[in-house]
Amino acid sequence: MPTISPNKPYRVGRSRTGLGLFATKPIKKGTKIIRYFGPLLDSKKKDEDAIENKYLFELTNRWTIDGSIRENIARYINHACRPNAESDVKPRKRKVFIRAIKNIEPGEEINYDYGTDYFKAYLKPIGCKCDACEKKRKKKRAEARAERIRLKEKAERKAKRKAEKVAKENAKTRAKANNAKANGKTLNGKQLNGHSLTKAAGKKVAASKRGAARALQA
């Protein structure tokens, strides 16, 4: 790892994506933090135009900075969708500086937006790991969990209502059956069913006939 002067307001340290650059002192908004540098590549030269790595910084259609050299401390600055710094490009001077666009506190990671082309080529396929994107993913995961819980509770309430409805219908059926049994059971304290009621009525008719016969004989 390159040596950094203790007077510099940054240090290289462990980040979510590997290594990153962190503030060691307060950095005010508008401050030039560090220069992004390396060999200049000329796109008109085939051998230089064929060079590919993650640290190429395009200045113009012709000139590109190859920032892959270890002396380029700025190469450790990670991308962020909501950064606290930006790249200040000087095409004519063929220089790039990283400038603070917010006040940066000690211990805070320094980051800037790498641009749409880099994002599509390198970050989108694997998923951006900056704080803003991590917060979005956490929010989506929390919303998904909340939705699963809501649907589960809804299903439980529906099942409970269905069970209560079935229980109520079963209770009504049992009540009807009990009423039907009760109607066919007791008469003057004696148990009667449909057959015994008919038999009792027949006995009454026979008794009436015998009474009538006695009356005639008298």
Residue 174 is classified by DSSP as: H
Same domain, 151 and 116: no
Number of folded domains that form the chain: 2
The pLDDT of residue 17 is 83
pLDDT digits (tens, 9 = 90+) for 70-120: 999 999 999 999 999 999 999 999 999 999 999 999 999 999 999 988 888
216 in a structural domain: no
The pLDDT of 33-62, averaged and rounded, is 93
The pLDDT of residue 93 is 92
> For all residues of the chain together, what is the average pLDDT?
85
Question: Which residues have C-beta within 8 Å of that of residue 131, sequence separation ≥ 6?
Answer: 80, 82
The pLDDT of residue 200 is 54
- Distance separating alpha carbons of residues 93 and 39, to the nearest angstrom: 14
Q: What percent of the chain has pLDDT over 90?
A: 48
pLDDT digits (tens, 9 = 90+) for 166-203: 988 898 888 888 888 888 765 455 554 555 555 555 55
Same domain, 36 and 85: yes
Same domain, 201 and 163: yes
The pLDDT of residue 212 is 56
The pLDDT of residue 124 is 87
The pLDDT of 24-45, averaged and rounded, is 96
The pLDDT of residue 67 is 95
| pTM of the model as a whole | 0.66
Same domain, 166 and 118: no
The pLDDT of residue 208 is 60
Residue spans of beta strands (DSSP E) within the chain: 10-15, 18-23, 32-36, 40-42, 56-58, 63-66, 78-79, 85-90, 95-100, 109-112, 186-187, 190-191
Question: Which residues have C-beta within 8 Å of that of residue 88, sequence separation ≥ 6?
Answer: 32, 96, 97, 98, 99
Q: How confident is the model at residue 142 (pLDDT cuts 50, 70, 90)?
A: confident
Task: Supply the range of the domain harboring residue 164.
Answer: 135-207
The pLDDT of residue 82 is 94
The pLDDT of residue 31 is 96
The pLDDT of 138-158, averaged and rounded, is 88
The CATH number linked to 120 is 2.170.270.10
Same domain, 117 and 18: yes
